[in-house]
Structure 1
Amino acid sequence: MDKPIGRRRFITIMAAFAGLPLLRGKGWAALPSEPVVWHGQALGAPATLVLNHQDRAQAQALITRVVAEVRRLEDIFSLYRDDSALSQLNRLGALAAPPTELVELLEISGRFHGLTGGRFEPAIQPLWALYARHFARPDADPAGPSYGEVREALALADFAQVRIDRNRIAFSRRGMALTLNGIAQGYVTDRVVGLLREAGVTSSLVDMGENRAIGSRADGQPWRIGLADFEDADDVNTTLDVTDRAVATSSGQGFQFDAEGRFSHILDPRSGATAKRYARVSVVAPEASTADALSTAFSLMARDEIDALAKQQASVDVHLKSR
């Protein structure tokens, strides 16, 4: 694939006092002391860094370090770069001397795979690719791929069949492939938070596809995150106050394979169908990788299952919006 698939966003960073969204290209004139704000891209998604720092030159230097770290991690996790470590693994079926970060993220992914009974499934990529190929054809059947094609792809969607250690990652079956789209943005966000904290930052909001707050705002109030049905900030219908926590949202409306919107990017590894239970699933957790993975898995789970699993986790809150 030559470039990332564009996905609509459902989280908006809110300005401090007026409750207005922080739009790209606009400042925070309403704030008593203006933070340093960076906008860019991370793993193909819009990214934002809001940094409260007394020394603006040091803040800009930190942002330069953050951008370099994000680019380095993209070279590992991106599905859209042929030379990334993940793309090489998918192409060859094995990867010797893998990057430490790839091993770490796959180990984290394995924990969530087990925790959610396989609903969080990084090995779902063959099914995703099947839907993408099917609907890319001009004569595509609007009912989707055939039952046989779906079952064939699902047979490859089993993260338990990935062998992982510090020296080598390998697939047990030919044709397997991984996607880390359900957790990599959260992981990158967590890495950026770690970098900033090591530099002494005590007030920042990091959005590398998912959001995580360091401390509170410069005025001592919590950071405010708006949940929207669409990227347009006028559609914000829920606002969360966040201090030292992360927020991630998953929605089938984020990307659909077909023009009618019947088939979304959130795929059920048990049936091969797309998620249809909720319009939006948002998770608040201590780390962005946790919020990211759980928001994906919860999109495929019944409310009682979600409640039971959330209670087992430390400081995890779930916000569901019904269809």
Structure 2
Amino acid sequence: MAESIRRRRAICIMAAAAGLPLLGVSSAARATAQPLVWTGQALGASATIILNIEDRDKATRLIRHVVAEVSRLEDVFSLYRPHSALSELNRTGALAAPPPELVALLEASRGCYDATGGLFDPTVQPLFALYARHFSRPKADPGGPSRKALNTTLALVGLDGVLANRDRVVFTRPGMALTLNGIAQGYITDRIVELLRIEGISSSLVNMGEDRAIGAKPDGSGWRIGLALTEMAGEPNAVVTIIDRAVATSSAAGFHFDAYGHFGHILHPRLGAMPERFARMTVVASDAVTADGLSTAFSLMTEDEIRGHARMRPDITVDLVALGGGSTRFGHSP
């Protein structure tokens, strides 16, 4: 089940690398007129970097640096590495001298929590564990956990119960736990973009579970990002074009706890599992952390509520597909 649970995103970059060679680090010296395309993994998701750079030795060094940085950040944020900072915090309820990246991401999470009226809440991990335990049992009640179990678990949810500064992170209620799966991929994407910019890269597309562009393509055109309802889709159902922007997608098809698909992975922090409203929710923003967090929270809102948030946020575009199949795009043009 762990492999399925960690795949919480359905992202497609179908149009971005069309016709480009896929080059690993060992073959970076080939095709010098072409961009270098690296593929790998970040937090259990497929990862891709498209680098427009002539110096292949520098490109190889940068990719190695990226791989090392991603691994280092997974040691902070991963729920599936028992030695990670997040795993230790969830086991013990407190973490002294936390990694600065964990503190920074909790601050970003709090900003998204406040902006969405608490709908983005990384303390839903106890709810996730409740549904996972329930539906892993033989002959589990298809109606889900009991009301008593749900209410007991909901009492553990709330970012107001997490105190964090550079010296310590503490849960104020025993039994609390965090998942950063709804925002950590955006954070890692932003971190890799920062790393590449420091090295002078001016044209690149970075995907560490979410997409972010550095500049435009060498011909001045934008990067085309294909949006699909599932990762297995053969063709995108929409395309956005970005320059110096980020794209994040949440999908109802990402993961379901039950065989009938009634209990999805995007959990309401005050209600638990709720009927899904959208087949795909995509947000384009100036950075991947913002796009990632909002795509999760917007999945729990009505379309009118999302539209209201977009009016107040000229920095974002929303592209969504309702469960019935109708698509809508509104907000600032990417």
Q: Same fold (TM over 0.5)?
A: yes
Report if the CA contact (8 A) 2:182-2:293 is conserved.
Answer: yes
Match of 1:14, SS state, is: coil
In the TM superposition, residue 314 of structure 1 has moved relative to its aligned partner by 4.1
- TM-score between both structures, scaled by the size of structure 1: 0.93
How far does the alpha carbon of each residue in 1:243-302 deviate from its partner, in whole angstroms, 9 at most, with x for none?
Answer: 100000001210111111111110111211235111110000000000000000000011
Deviation at 1:23, TM superposition (A): 9.3
Residue 318 of structure 1: how far off its partner (Å)? 0.3
Q: State yes or no: 1:253 paired with 2:253.
A: yes
Over aligned residue pairs, what C-alpha RMSD do you find? 2.1
Q: SS in structure 2 opposite 1:48?
A: strand
* SS of residue in 1 equivalent to 2:237: strand
Q: SS state of the match for residue 241, structure 1?
A: strand
1:263 equivalent to 2:228? Answer no
Letter in 2 for 1:14: A
**Structure 1 residue 60: deviation in Å?**
1.2
Give the unaligned 5+ runs of structure 2: 324-334
1:133 paired residue number: 133
Q: Is the 8 A contact 1:266 1:275 kept in 2?
A: no
- How far residue 146 of structure 1 moved from its aligned partner, in angstroms, is 1.0
Number of residue-to-residue matches in the alignment: 317
Report runs of 4+ in structure 1 exceeding 4 Å deviation.
Answer: 1-4, 20-27
In structure 1, the residue matched to 2:244 is 244
Displacement of 1:312 in angstroms is 2.1
**What do the CA deviations read for 1:83-130 (whole angstroms, capped 9, x no partner)?**
100010000000000000100100110111111011001100000000
Deviation at 1:5, TM superposition (A): 2.7
Name the CA shift for 1:111/1:275 in 2 (closer, same or farther; >3 Å): farther
Q: Could you say if the C-alpha distance between residues 320 and 169 of structure 1 is closer, same or farther in structure 2, counting changes exceeding 3 Å?
A: same
The question of whether the paired residues in 1 share the 8 Å contact of 2:14 and 2:235 is answered with: no
1:25 Cα shift?
A: 7.7
Distance 1:2 1:284 in 2: 29
Shift of 1:15: 4.3
The equivalent of 2:218 in structure 1 is 218
Contact 2:265 2:273 in 1 (8 A): no
Q: Secondary structure at the match of 1:236?
A: coil
Partner of 2:228: 228
CA contact (8 A) 2:20 2:34 kept: no
1:24, 1:268 → 2: CA distance? 39
Counterpart residue identity of residue 12, structure 1 = I
Deviation at 1:11, TM superposition (A): 2.1
Task: Check if 1:10 corresponds to 2:11.
Answer: yes
- What amino acid does structure 1 have at the position aligned with 2:322? S
Once the 2 structures are TM-superposed, how far is the Cα of residue 142 of structure 1 from its aligned partner? 1.2
Change (3 A) 1:38 1:32: closer
Separation in 1, partners of 2:184, 2:21:
24
Name the residue aligned to 2:201.
201
